[in-house]
Structures are given as C-alpha cells and as structure tokens.
Amino acid sequence: MEYGFLSLLPPLLAIIIAILTKQTVAALFLGVWFGATVMNEWNPVSGFTYTVNEIMVPSIADPWNASLILLVVFTGGFINVLRTTGAGQAFGDFATKKVNTRQKGQNFVWGSAFLFSYTEPVLILGTVTRPITDKLKISRVKLAYIVDSMGSPVASMSPISVYAPFITGLIATQLAALSLSENPWSLFIQMIPFHLYGIFAIVGVLLVINMKIDIGPMYKAEQRAIKTGKLYGEHDKLMINDTGDADAVEADIFSFLIPLALLFAGIFGVIFWTGDIGANGLAGAFLNADIIFAITTGFFLGSVGGMLYAKLRYGQPLEELLNGYVDGIMQVMIVPVILVMAWSIGTVATEMGLGDVIAHYAGSYLPTFLVPVIIFILGGLIAFASGSSWGVFSIMIPIAIPMGIALDLELALVIGAAISGGVFGDHCSPISDTSIMSSTGSAADHMEHIRTQLPYAIIIALSAGMGFLMTGLTQNSILGIITTAAVLVAILLFVKNRMKKKYPAAAE
C-alpha cells in the first residue's frame, strides 16, 4: 500500500515530541506506534501489537542491531573501568600538563578522534577526554559537538570502522545487480574526496575551535562554563549519571595505557583473524572482517586488563572492580533502548515508503548537474526524519548508483553525496542514534547537544551543497573541495564578525 505524504508523519511526530518534551524514548515510541496504527487501518490496538511484535522485536533480533547493542554494553563497562580504576583521571592529569588552555583542550579532543575512529568513537572519545575538558571549563555541549562532528564523519571515511563493511556491502550489491565490474572497496576509497560534508565537518570543527566561533546557544553554554565553572545547565538531563571521579583511586598513566593497548590489540587481532589476513591480505582482511565483533572484543579485553592492573598494582578489591564494570553497563542501558526505538522508527519509515516519496517528488525532471546536490539534500532529509544515517545509506545508495550509471555521473560522486547526506541529517536529528551516543559519551543533555550543534551542521551543509553543485558541473572532486572550503571560510568569517558586534566582551 502507498502512504504518500502520510509516511512523513511518524518521524515528524517523534521529532516534534522530542523537541517539546525532551523525552526521546517516549517520542520515538509514539512515532512508531502512530505509524503502525496508520499501517493497520488506523486501529491503535492493532498498531500497538504490530509495534511490539513486528517492529520492535525484529529490530532487537536483527543480528547487526543485536551486535551493536552488545558493543554499546561492553563500551559502557569499559568506560566505567577507566573511571573506577582512576585511569581516566590519570590520563587527564597527564594530558593537562601540556594541554593547559581551552583552545589546546578542544584541539586535543579533535586530534584524538583519529585515534579512536577504529572503536565506537562517539562513545569512547567523550569519555576519555571529558576529564581534560572538565578541568579546562569546556562545556559538555561543546565537547559533544566536537565528538559528534568527528565521530561519524571520520568513521564513515575510515576503512577500519563499522561503516566500511556496511557501505561496501551496499555498493557491492548494486554493482552485482547492474553487472558492473568495479571493485566496491576501490569505490569506497574513491568516494572519500567526494564526501564533502564529512570532510568539512572535520575541518569545520578545527576552524570553529581556532577561530573561536561560538554561535547562539553554544556561546551561552561556553560563557557559563568559563565564568561560573558550570559545565551544563541547571535543568539539563545528562545522558549518564555524572558522578565524576571523586570515588576513583589515585592511579598512574599505565592504568590508562594498558587497557588502551589491549583495546587496540583486540580490535586488530580479531580483524586479522576474522578477515583472514593470510588469504586476503591487509586490505582484504579489513573488508571481510567482523568489525563490530572486533571492537566488542577489544573493549572486553581492555576492561579485563584495566581491572587486573588495578587489582595487582593498587590492590583494589575485585568485587569493587566488577561492581564498577556492571555499573558502567547499567549507566548506558538507556542507549540500547533509544537505539531500538530509533531503528523501529526507521523501519516504519521504510515500510511506509518515506524514501521513495521524498525521492519521487524531489527528484523528478532534474538537470544532471543537480543530481549530486539533490541526493545530498534527500539523504539529509531522510536521515533527519528517520534518525539513521545507516537507513539513508540503505535507501539512497541503491538509488544513487543506478542514477549515476543512467546519467553518466562518477559513481564515487553519487555515493559520496548519499553518504554526506546521511551524516548531515544524522547530525541534525534529535532521534539520531550517533548523536544520542555522542551525548552519552560526553555526559551532556541530548536535546541541548542537538540545539547547540545545529547551527554548525547547517553551515557545513550549505558549504557542502555549493561544493556538490560544482562537482555536478565538473565531476571534479578537487574543485568541489575548493568551492566548499571557500564558502565555509566566508560564512565563518561573516558569523565571527556578527558575533563580535553582538558580544564585544566575549571571553577567550
């Protein structure tokens, strides 16, 4: 059955309720229930049954989703091991000897993102760097913005992340369906310079930090942190219990380095094992590996190593360490609940044909040079409405590749536009799974994170949109990058001048 514009209502309802109430789980559930009710001839009882049995349970049972839930659970345990063993505090104390200003602290978080792009970056990056940013009076929403803007953009361009096998799998399916001989791994690499939103989300954060541009609500949050030391608002609802490190033991830097070394050893060891590096080579191992299992294993080994070191070096009671590990899992349990709800609303959007509706009405009778920017915009709209960049990749890549072939466009260009759109919409949506995890890792209020991040995401998107217009005309990634960079710098300079006039006594 075709639902037309009705397919827009469930995600829009969820977004509106989330914004008005700041209750993400309830908002998502009501959106799913409404969509299921529409699909069941407007019968709310049948809609409720359908919501539970046909949408939520399959979302949990899906092997990919279940493995991601386990990854979040193991990440929560690892995060709290770093706290209860004093490892996070030790790292913060060590780093702040050199990282001793707010600007250096923000740049440190930015640079650290490249190290953690192999893990679940948005969760672990905020946790590892939060002791440093807290000491330097950097607001939690500013940390969440840096983490979120570095998380999925870096991971979506990294061959060693959960994104790479998913995206290459979608590409491979389309290539096989169209009887094309291109290598999906090569297309993924060729896509990177066309991933304009991802590239300039990363560059944009660096410019914002070093040009000292805090816009609107971000400015207010930063000024509150600088002047009062309050890192979050009085009424903010933090995604995890912010107990701080008062109950953590005094520890040395090895309390941090040992679990981190085991984390990466586990990740790369399992990648090489499950990807069969002997038969497939280095690149083939990453392409064929079970990345989520590798990262989950790494977090488990890191947790065990951290607890053993704390037991042997400082004599911390094993019961206390294990209780801390379990407490860490419990603190992040809201994240799997929200993820299930987010996946469920994505399922409703797919079943009601949201992607087809948007693509049909927006993509009719377009000149060829507009196709990349339209793919980017559509991807952003669908990701915003569904809260899932993964869903956008699944919807838009099967649309983009045949369009690219039919219109004689570079496949890497249309793939890059689809991925850029997904990441952009993800950054703007209050029901986005990665933004939720960014808020969690940064111990920030989720809706405040979205509100403060939105102006930056829109600026990057406007710049990338101009870049996609240029690449549509020329199919040249270098010209697209130059255009995007020029527009971005011009907008940021304009905003900086406006901010100077509005807040002449701004700190920093």
**Distance separating alpha carbons of residues 370 and 368, to the nearest angstrom:** 5
pLDDT at 419: 94
- Residues near 454 by beta carbon (within 8 Å), at least 6 away in sequence: 428
Give the mean model confidence (pLDDT) for residues 50-73.
85
Q: Is 50 exceeded by the pLDDT of residue 508?
A: no
Residue 303 has pLDDT above 90, yes or no: yes
Which residue would you say has higher pLDDT here, 118 or 226? 226
| Phi and psi at residue 99, to the nearest 5° | -90, 90
What's at 292, amino acid-wise? I
pLDDT of residue 53: 93
Segment 472-500 shows an average pLDDT of: 93
Distances (CA, A) of 189 to 48, 283, 368, 394, 416: 44, 11, 24, 19, 10
| Chain centroid to CA 125 | 11
Average pLDDT value for residue range 145-158: 88
User: Lowest-pLDDT range, 62-76, 97-111, 296-310?
Assistant: 62-76
* Number of domains composing the chain: 1
**Interval 145-163 mean pLDDT:** 83
Q: Which domain holds residue 178?
A: 4-506
Give strand pairing partners of 238. 445
* Three-state DSSP class for residue 238: strand
pLDDT at 362 over 70: no
pLDDT value at position 478?
95
Amino acid at 113: A
Please choose, from the candidates 84, 54, 487, the residue with its C-alpha nearest in 3D space to the C-alpha of residue 325. Answer: 84
Most confident of 80-84, 230-234, 469-473: 469-473
Mean pLDDT of the region 78-91: 82
Kindly give the residue spans of alpha helices, DSSP state H, lying in 85-120. 87-95, 102-115
- Alpha-carbon distances of 440 from 140, 168, 237, 437, rounded to whole Å: 10, 28, 11, 5
Residue 364 pLDDT: 56
H-run or E-run covering 426: helix 411-428
